[in-house]
Amino acid sequence: MNEEININIKEMKEGGYSIFHQEYIIMAEYRMLQTENLPGIYVIPSHENSFLWYGVIFVRSGTYGGGVFRFTLTLPEKFPDDTVPTITFTSQMFHPAIDASTGVLGLNEVFPQWDRKQNHIWQILKYLHWIFHNLNMKVPANNEASTLYKTNRKLFIDKVKESIASSIEHIYDEPPTDDKHYITFKPYDPNIHDSAKNIMLKVPGGNESSHGISWVQSGTYQSFSKEDNA
């Protein structure tokens, strides 16, 4: 019996880390990104597999403003001592940095290799936010999008609008998986959501000047401030 246990432990440690050590590192990465400023980005590891994370980004301004784009983040098998994690958009995307056929975000330009002492997942998500406001890529993953951005801005914007419209059209789609951590959205229902909204808008102590208040207006995906009743 003890011999079988020792064999199993040896197998788990192959590759430099035990499964438990890897899980600890991944969860530490997740806690780390929760302390970073990642506007409009929401991610969570899969309930079934911590090497797969589900994500969504609400782009609040700029050319892609109003888009709600889904993506997955996949960690390599031997993370953190392995290749660079992969961001794959599951929403239809027309962007110079995103491969149109695979949805994979090109990361080679900023992460040519992964250094566990220098690189962290939150940095990839920072870059993910950055690309929606900086479209001139030195090494584009989508040559058509890159060329149109430089030579025919109107047609480029038209194609971007198609991506935005598609993302909104599919925001309430049924989940493609039974994973409990897949991020889902439901249409605004006043009977369900108004009470939560009122709680969020209520400022403790009545000192409204010291609190930033925001909500998503019904029927849109744009945030708005609390109405001024003065």
Q: What is the pLDDT of residues 175-218, one digit of tens each?
A: 999 999 999 998 888 988 888 888 888 866 655 444 444 445 55
pLDDT value of position 205: 62
pLDDT value of position 207: 54
- 213 near 226, Cβ under 8 Å? yes
pLDDT value of position 201: 83
Cα 59 to Cα 41: distance, rounded to the nearest angstrom? 9
pLDDT value of position 212: 41
- Long-range contacts from 112-116, C-beta under 8 angstroms, 24+ separation: 113/83, 113/84, 114/80, 114/82, 114/83, 114/84, 114/85, 116/80, 116/81
pLDDT value of position 94: 98
Question: In percent, how much of the chain has pLDDT > 90?
Answer: 67
Which residues is 216 bridged to in the sheet?
Answer: 223
pLDDT value of position 209: 45
From first to last of its 230 residues, what are the pLDDT tens digits of the chain?
445 444 444 544 454 457 788 999 999 999 999 899 899 999 999 999 999 999 999 999 999 999 999 999 999 999 998 899 999 999 999 999 999 999 999 999 899 999 999 999 999 999 999 999 999 999 999 999 999 999 999 999 999 999 999 999 999 999 999 999 999 998 888 988 888 888 888 866 655 444 444 445 555 444 444 444 44
pLDDT value of position 145: 97
Give the predicted TM-score (pTM) of the model: 0.79
pLDDT value of position 15: 47
Which residues is 52 bridged to in the sheet?
Answer: 74
End-to-end CA distance of the chain: 75
pLDDT value of position 7: 43
pLDDT value of position 204: 66
pLDDT value of position 196: 84
Max CA separation in the chain (angstroms)? 76
pLDDT value of position 31: 94
**In terms of C-beta density within 10 A (0-12 exposed, 13-18 middle, 19 or more buried), how is residue 104 classed?**
middle
Rounded to 10 degrees, the C-alpha dihedral 94/96/99/101 comes to: 40
